[in-house]
Structure 1
Amino acid sequence: MFELPRRRMLKRRNDFQRVYRQGKSLANRYFVLYVFESEALAGKVGFAAGKKLGCAVKRNRVKRLLRETYRLHSHELRPGIALLLVGRQAMLNAKCPAVEQSFLSLGKKAGIFQ
């Protein structure tokens, strides 16, 4: 079983902004994936869900789905990249396998897998 330690998560606002601004973005129905190649942030990941998605319960569910999807496939990622996953409205009613398939297809397009 793979864990997602807190030291591998983006926490600072500056780090989030750097990935947003300088990273390459790809999107699908469920979320937006930002990929940023950097040695300083290598291996880090951030999860976001905006207030447009609804109350805190809904936003937290979206982030839980994103975290679990990432956790299941984190060992397959190539080194030297930082990721940011931002949930979208369609994810509120999505199940984990659908989000996982979406992550895999978007990840292949982005070239984040080894």
Structure 2
Amino acid sequence: MLYGLPKPFRLHLKRDFKDIISNARRARGEGMVIWWRPSLCPGARTRLGMVVSRKLGGAVVRNRVKRLLRESFRLNREKIQPGVDLIVSPRSSETLTDLLNVQRAFMALCGRAGLLKNSSDK
């Protein structure tokens, strides 16, 4: 599969979401908030989960922002340290209008959180 986000890269259990949000670290940035923690499974992949409130907008707006966030994660997951569970919650649909803005905001938050691989780690 060339496009899309396969199941091993997704968070989908309610207990995982509760655990991460209650026990993880948080960073706020331009239009979104992320929570992250190291995965409990050794050698695990980086996984993404999303929490999108109805306050963001109608179903069309919410689904578009989720698609943009998934695509941003998919394109940049090699730059993020392995074995991290991430939850992203968009807060403002005005700043997350296109893929470039979403990627910029997402990568800036990951950088602020210290989740990006160092260039010397390649």
Q: Which amino acid aligns with 1:21?
A: S
Supply the distance in 1 between the matched residues of 2:112 and 2:53 (Cα, whole angstroms). 24
The whole-number CA distance in structure 2 between the counterparts of 1:14 and 1:35 is: 15
> 2:115 corresponds to which letter in structure 1?
I
TM-score by length of 1: 0.88
Name the structure 2 match of 1:17.
Answer: 18
Match of 1:99 in 2: 102
- The equivalent position to 1:67 in structure 2, one of 62, 65, 70, is 70
Count of matched residue pairs: 114
1:68-87 maps to which residues of 2 (within 5 A)? 68-87=71-90
Is the aligned partner of 1:55 residue 2:55?
no
Q: Is the 8 A contact 1:62 1:92 kept in 2?
A: no
**Alignment of 1:46 onto 2:43:** no
Structure of higher CA gyration radius: 2
> What do the CA deviations read for 1:63-114 (whole angstroms, capped 9, x no partner)?
1111011111011111221001111124576221111111111111111111
Cα distance change on mapping 1:5 and 1:106 into 2, 3 Å: same
- Give ranges in structure 2 of 5+ residues lacking alignment: 118-122
2:31·2:96 contact (CA, 8 Å) conserved in 1?
no
| Structure with the higher fraction of residues in helix conformation | 1
Q: CA RMSD in A?
A: 1.9
Using the size of structure 2 for normalisation, the TM-score is 0.82
Change in 2 beyond 3 A, CA 1:74/1:29? same
CA distance in 2, matches of 1:24, 1:97: 25
- Partner of 1:30 in structure 2? 31
